[in-house]
Amino acid sequence: MPRAATTTDAFNAVAEPRRRQIIDVLADGERSVGDLVGEIPVSQPQVSKHLKVLKEVGLVKSRSVGRQRLYSLDPLALKPIHDWVQEYERLWNERLDRLDGYLYEIQRKENQ
């Protein structure tokens, strides 16, 4: 299915390796921009830019605590990707189950 080349959905948003790193860190819990800069070798402006994209597609949400803004993951937005991996696994299982059944049948016939 064709998708827009911009950052309009979760797939596009996670296509960027740095953004996946950010998601990975946020999977452990809330972080500030400063925290992220400390954990990922990316400059603060870059982290902010990536967070903006992740927020636009709903993968990341933020809240203010005092003077800090904390970012966290909204895992529900990752559901399309989760579904994709599951669908991919399901398709391979179907195909290889058919292969399995076919191998069984031709061996059974050979042995008759």
**What three-state secondary structure class fits 62?**
strand
- Nearer to another protein (CB atom), residue 69 or residue 98: 98
CA gap 72, 59 in Å, rounded: 9
CB of 47 to another protein, least distance (A): 17
Question: Minimum distance from CB of 27 to another protein (Å)?
Answer: 5
Tokens of 41: 């070798």
Residues within the interface to another protein (CB under 8 A): 1-3, 5, 11-12, 14-17, 20-21, 23-24, 27, 73, 75-76, 78-79, 81-82, 84-85, 88-89, 92-93, 95-104, 106-107
User: CA-CA distance, 85 to 82, in Å (whole number)?
Assistant: 5
Closest CB to another protein among residues 66, 101: 101
Cβ at position 33, least distance to another protein in Å: 20
Smallest separation, CB 75 to another protein (Å): 4
Structure tokens at 76: 């529900």
- Here the tokens at position 96 are 């290889």
Beta carbons within 8 Å of 53's beta carbon, 6+ residues apart: 7, 13, 16, 19
